């Protein structure tokens, strides 16, 4: 059982508050786009959610982006609605974990957490 949860710079007393925020993000946005170290090209991934409704992207372990993404990195990511790619909203996003996918061999779940908007 959790005693407190951090949400951005605020503490949250209820885990359901964080889950509902993640679900809102996933309902509202379809994909995420970002640059690594300010370099071109930008990377575009479909947003997905796991059993606890946390947003993540699915990344091939042999890709250049996978090698550069590190747990603890904070990136400016552009969250896009399905009909408006490239016209999204920027959020500072924390890479919270990189775990192998249990069904897709060679792919990793890179879990995201929006820390500021």
Vertex 24 angle, CA 22 and 28, to 5°: 120
Angstrom CA distances, 30 to 33, 44, 106, stand at 10, 11, 23
Exposed/middle/buried for 5, CB within 10 Å: 0-12, 13-18, 19+? middle
Is residue 108 within 8 A of residue 66, CB to CB? The reply is yes
pLDDT tens digits, 59-104: 999 998 999 999 999 999 999 887 766 678 899 999 999 999 988 8
* In the chain, alpha helices (H): 15-28, 64-68
pLDDT tens digits, 6-15: 334 444 444 4
Query: What is the pTM assigned to this prediction?
Result: 0.73
Domains of the chain, CATH where assigned: 5-116 (2.30.110)
């Amino acid at each position: 059982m959790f005693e407190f949860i951090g949400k951005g710079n605020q503490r949250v007393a209820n885990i359901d508050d964080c889950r509902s925020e993640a679900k809102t993000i996933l309902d509202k946005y379809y994909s995420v786009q970002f640059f690594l170290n300010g370099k071109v090209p930008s990377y575009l991934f479909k947003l997905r959610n796991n059993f606890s409704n946390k947003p993540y992207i699915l990344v091939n372990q042999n890709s250049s982006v996978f090698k550069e993404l590190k747990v603890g990195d904070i990136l400016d990511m552009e969250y896009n609605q399905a009909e408006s790619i490239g016209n999204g909203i920027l959020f500072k996003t924390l890479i919270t974990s990189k775990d192998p996918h249990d069904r897709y061999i060679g792919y990793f779940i890179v879990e995201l957490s929006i820390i500021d908007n």
